């Protein structure tokens, strides 16, 4: 599997999302994914499943050095001491001595960005996280983080799929060689029933979901973290890497309406 080189780490381009999976369901799904060859697991304190993710990792026998684990601090915990407490709690639940990537999960309107990055950077310098990054940062916030604060962010994790245009943020990230980690890469499952994608898939003996994932993974500097609880879907999603889309396919996907944002909580700064 390809790795995106960023801020000293190799980020596996393809990973497993774990939002809305908890307890035994989550443990089993992560264990299954690791068994199939997934090496990048995405979790967050807010998902309430770090303990299950940790149990699956411990049981998997996969060497720690071969595994990439991302977790995130929730927007209510962005004061420096709160970040510390959240981070320690996450590590303990994950049963790890370090994570690979620690992200600000959502920006909040009253956050102190320099203080946040100072705290994250200390965690990195202490070797508790190999890299730091952000999620759900719009262009203005990204510019502040990168150009004013000069924070060494290893990614921006944002909603990105065939139904949502992210050109503005994607161009900026590409110019700064910062990976874009696409969350909800299947448009929360909706991509699987899109008629255009189904017909492209038919041509290649692939599913619509696989077409949606390969469209993302064909883009430079883009990683994707589809969530799938069932082993068949996990395997199918991994197999999407083998699919070869052609120009006609890309043209048809480009023509899909791209105004559908499915994740937009009220507490965060506006997107545009």
**Active site members:** 47
Q: Which is nearer to ligand NAP, 90 or 207 (CB)?
A: 207
Return the percent helix, strand and coil in the chain, to nearest 5: 45, 20, 35
Q: Which residues bind ligand NAP (CB under 6 A)?
A: 17-19, 42, 105, 135-136, 157, 183-189, 192, 207, 209, 225-230, 233, 236-237, 263
| 92: CB partners within 8 A, 6+ apart | none
* Spatial separation of the C-alpha atoms in residues 43 and 94, rounded to whole Å: 10
| 189: CB partners within 8 A, 6+ apart | none
Q: Give the nearest distance from C-beta 157 to ligand NAP in angstroms.
A: 5
Q: Give the pair of three-digit tokens for residue 4.
A: 């995106």
Q: Which is nearer to ligand NAP, 125 or 238 (CB)?
A: 238
Q: Which is nearer to ligand NAP, 95 or 230 (CB)?
A: 230
Q: Give the pair of three-digit tokens for residue 180.
A: 């874009």
The answer to whether the CB of 5 falls within 8 A of the CB of 217 is no
Residue 110, Cβ density class (10 Å: 0-12 exposed, 13-18 middle, ≥19 buried): exposed
Q: Give the pair of three-digit tokens for residue 245.
A: 């889309």
Q: Which is nearer to ligand NAP, 107 or 152 (CB)?
A: 107
Tell me the longest C-alpha to C-alpha distance in the chain. Answer: 54
Residue whose pair of structure tokens reads 């920006």 in the numeric block: 107
* Spatial separation of the C-alpha atoms in residues 219 and 38, rounded to whole Å: 20
Q: Give the nearest distance from C-beta 6 to ligand NAP in angstroms.
A: 17
The pair phi, psi for residue 69, each rounded to 5°, is -120, 125
Q: Give the pair of three-digit tokens for residue 91.
A: 């590590």
Q: Which is nearer to ligand NAP, 152 or 201 (CB)?
A: 201
Residue 140's CB: how many other CB atoms inside 10 A?
Answer: 11
Q: Give the nearest distance from C-beta 119 to ligand NAP in angstroms.
A: 19
C-alpha of 192 from chain center: 19
Q: Which is nearer to ligand NAP, 31 or 247 (CB)?
A: 31
Residue whose pair of structure tokens reads 């981070």 in the numeric block: 87
Q: Give the nearest distance from C-beta 179 to ligand NAP in angstroms.
A: 14
Q: Give the nearest distance from C-beta 46 to ligand NAP in angstroms.
A: 8
Residue nearest ligand NAP, Cβ-based:
17
Q: Give the nearest distance from C-beta 182 to ligand NAP in angstroms.
A: 8
């Amino acid at each position: 599997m390809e790795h995106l080189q960023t801020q000293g780490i190799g980020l596996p381009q393809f990973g497993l999302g774990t939002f809305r999976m908890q307890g035994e369901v989550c443990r089993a799904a992560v264990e299954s994914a690791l068994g199939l060859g997934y090496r990048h697991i995405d979790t967050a304190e807010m998902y309430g499943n770090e303990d299950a993710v940790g149990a699956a990792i411990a049981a998997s026998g996969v060497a720690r050095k071969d595994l990439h684990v991302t977790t995130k601090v929730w927007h209510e915990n962005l004061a420096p001491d709160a970040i510390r407490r959240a981070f320690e709690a996450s590590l303990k639940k994950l049963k790890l001595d370090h994570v690979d990537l620690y992200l600000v999960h959502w920006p909040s309107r009253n956050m102190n960005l320099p203080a946040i990055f100072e705290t994250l950077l200390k965690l990195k310098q202490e070797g508790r996280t190999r890299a730091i990054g952000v999620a759900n940062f719009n262009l203005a916030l990204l510019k502040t983080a990168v150009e004013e604060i000069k924070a060494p962010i290893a990614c921006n994790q944002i909603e990105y799929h065939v139904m949502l245009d992210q050109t503005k943020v994607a161009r900026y990230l590409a110019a700064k060689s910062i990976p874009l980690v696409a969350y909800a890469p299947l448009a929360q499952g909706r991509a699987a029933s899109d008629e255009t994608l189904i017909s492209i898939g038919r041509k290649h003996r692939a599913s619509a979901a696989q077409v949606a994932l390969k469209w993302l993974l064909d883009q430079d500097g883009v990683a994707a973290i589809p969530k799938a609880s069932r082993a068949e879907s996990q395997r199918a999603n991994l197999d999407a890497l083998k699919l070869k889309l052609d120009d006609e396919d890309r043209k048809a996907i480009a023509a899909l309406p791209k105004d559908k944002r499915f994740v937009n909580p009220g507490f965060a700064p506006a997107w545009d």
